[in-house]
Structure formats: C-alpha cells, structure tokens
Amino acid sequence: QQCIAVMTSGGDAPGMNANVRAIIRTAIHKNCKAYVIHEGYSGLVNGGDFIKEIHWSDVNGWLSDGGTNIGTARCMEFKEREGRLTACHNMINAGITALIVCGGDGSLTGADLFRAEWPSLIKELLDTGKITQDQFDKHQFLNICGTVGSIDNDMSSTDVTIGSYSSLDRICKAIDYIDATANSHQRAFVIEVMGRHCGWLALMAGIATSADYIFIPESPSKQSEWSEHMCKVISKHRERGKRKTIVIVAEGAIDSSLNPISCNDVKDILVEKLGLDTRVTTLGHVQRGGPAVAFDRYLATMQGVYAVDAVLNGNPDTPSPMIGISENKIIKRNLVDAVKLTKSVAEAINAKDFDKVMELRDTEFSE
C-alpha cells in the first residue's frame, strides 16, 4: 500500500487547502494511506507530530478556506544535505512512499533535489544502522510531484498557478473601494500590488479595473520617458472627464536602468506635474487572504487528483512531474524544466534582456 504525504511550502496562497483536500481524498479513494506534513520542510526535518496520518473527514470544509491549514514555512535546514538526511529518516519511520509538494519554484526545486538524492540518503541511513534492510528495500525510490501554489502566477510551463485568481479578485475589490473615494474627491491613487518578477496581477487588475497606468517588471520604460508618457495619458483621461486616476505598480516594477519604480516617486510626479491630490495605497497581505475563488477551488482540486495519479504512476526513470494547466487542460510537465525556465525569465528581466524574455515565453514545454 502506498503512503502519500502532502505539504504546503513557501508563501501561502488561497486554494492550497483545496489542493491538500483533493490529494488526501483521492489518495484514500485509491486505497492509499494519506499523510500531511505540517509547516513545510521544517515538519519533514522535525518529524514526530509534524507528520500525521489524515482521514477523509479531517479535511471537511477545506475547499474554500484561504491560507494553508497545515502551515507553511521557510526551512534553511532542508537546503543542507544533513537536513534532508534527517527528513528522509523521518519519512521512512512514518512509512511514507510518495510526497506531493504544493509551493513555488524554491519548494519544487527542493522536492526534486530530495528525490534525486534519495538513493544516497537511504544508503547512508542503512550503513549507519538508522534503518533496517526491510525499510531500505521498501523505500528504494521516492515518488514526488509538484503543484504550484503562488499568488503571483510566476511559474513557467503553466498558464495559471493556484491562488492567483483569488488574489486578483481581492485586488479588484480593493480598487473598487478606492475608486469610490477617488471619484468623490477627484483624487489620484497609486496602488502597489504583489508581483516580484511577474506583473500578471498588476496587468490583469489594471484591465479589470480600467486603471489609467500600469507598471510591471517585464516592460520597464526609460526613466526619462515614463513620467512624461504617464502624465500625457492621465491628462488625456482627465480632459475627457474622468474624475479619478488609478495607477497600479507591481512591487517588482523597474525602470530601464533597473531602478525600482517607487509608488512615492509616481505620486510626487502626479502632484508636481499634474497638480493631482494623490495618495499611495500598498495593498499588502490582504491580497493573499480570504477564501479561494471558484476557479482556484476547481484548479486546486483537479490538480490534486492528477498529482496523486502522477505519483502512483511514477518510476525512477521518468523526470519529476509538476502539474499545471494549459489551454484549459490540466497537464503534467517536467518539473525541473519548468523551474529552470522560471529562473531564466527572472534572470533575463534582471539583466534587462527583454528580447530574451519574449524568446523564453515561446519555449516549447516538455513532459
């Protein structure tokens, strides 16, 4: 009987609970035992009560819950081999044979590394007498699978990540609230939203709220040009009778000299050049909170079902899988390739190589 464990790792995202729920219930449905690891990789390294068998009714009501009920953490020990050796020992003691991780690119990199290193870890545990020959024989191979939980929608190889539509919904609602006061007082608001290397939230929120101007990391403008262009666009909107101005700035937005675009700089320009009564609002952690929207519940549930299938059908010769969605179909991708591509896009943005960014976006994905 397979014993499948699930953990959430990295930043929390609405829909992670729906993903955990679907993984647990699919595992049980397929006659496996289901386990949760509390607090991400720290739980794996600490063992004991952090690793628990879980039953069908334990996840009642989790489908819509925001955040992650099993906790998430950043764990430095797991980045070291020693930490992974302890994690391996704890997993074997708990009888776990497969691991599904819902997290960002860092968490999935850790999972793939753990899988690749597994044979040498179990060998060392056997040689040092920490596990028996029986345990060694039973745990020859670790099946893993990644699902992507990230509000930024910043993973390559998948159209959407779990949590991004919920976060977009929060942002749009917040901007709707701000709109009312902006309209009443004819004010301008500069609104900072999340997105370190990926402007998806800013761009989508900008379209969905008819913002006047948007700054995203992927499309920096020349320092000398953006202020003039922004003022021209906003003046035109005001001349047409618009009583409010909304500018959205992704937290990772940069100009072409790689300097961050600061909301306060944008505000100063709107005040000085256009004489607008301007306020800055940083939406912060409300963007992560609240229940998952219907799409995230659906996406997380379908991906949970596929993730269990992927670990049940995995073997040592196939690459680690990551579950995503492409053109409305749930798909399985090569996890390492997806993470590599994500990192290459971030590096190309940092290096101002925007032709490279566009080229990378056209990459053919592999299973």
Token pair for 76 = 């430095």
Compute the distance between CA of residue 85 and CA of residue 67 in angstroms, rounded to an integer: 29
Least distance between ligand ATP and beta carbon 189 (Å): 27
Least distance between ligand ATP and beta carbon 115 (Å): 11
Select which of 152, 212, 255, 337 is catalytic. 152
Residue linked to tokens 């937005």: 253
Least distance between ligand ATP and beta carbon 213 (Å): 27
What CA dihedral angle connects 180, 185, 188 and 190, to 10 degrees? Answer: -50
Does 286 appear as a known binding residue? Answer: yes
CB 34 within 8 A of CB 52: no
Q: Which of 35, 41, 118, 213 binds ligand ATP (CB under 6 A)?
A: 41
**Contact status: 78 vs ligand ATP (CB under 6 A):** yes
Contacts of 228 (CB under 8 A, 6+ apart): none
Does 104 appear as a known binding residue? Answer: yes
* Per-position x/- string for 134-173, each x denoting binding to ligand ATP as judged by CB under 6 A, each - no binding: ----------------x-----------------------
Helix (H, G, I), strand (E, B) or coil at 35: strand
Q: Which of 39, 105, 255, 337 binds ligand ATP (CB under 6 A)?
A: 105
Compute the distance between CA of residue 55 and CA of residue 25 in angstroms, rounded to an integer: 8
Phi/psi at 336 (nearest 5 deg)? -65, -45
344: number of Cβ within 10 Å: 16
Residue number with CB closer to ligand ATP (6 or 269): 6
CB 327 within 8 A of CB 160: no
| Stretch of 4-12, 47-55, 311-319, 341-349 lying at the interface with ligand ATP (CB under 6 A) | 4-12
Radius of gyration of the chain from Cα atoms? Answer: 23
Type of residue numbered 260 = P
Least Cα distance to 74 among 7, 24, 15 occurs for 7
**Contact status: 11 vs ligand ATP (CB under 6 A):** yes
**Contact status: 279 vs ligand ATP (CB under 6 A):** no
Q: Which of 9, 90, 166, 342 binds ligand ATP (CB under 6 A)?
A: 9
Residue number with CB closer to ligand ATP (155 or 261): 155
152 is catalytic: yes
How many chain residues touch ligand ATP (CB under 6 A)?
17
Sheet holding 278-282, edge to edge: 213-215, 245-250, 188-193, 278-282
Residue whose beta carbon is closest to ligand ATP: 106
**Contact status: 14 vs ligand ATP (CB under 6 A):** no
Cite the active site residues.
152
Binding site for ligand ATP (CB under 6 A): 9-11, 41, 74-75, 78-79, 103-107, 109-110, 113, 150
Annotated binding site for substrate: 150-152, 187, 194-196, 251, 279, 285-288
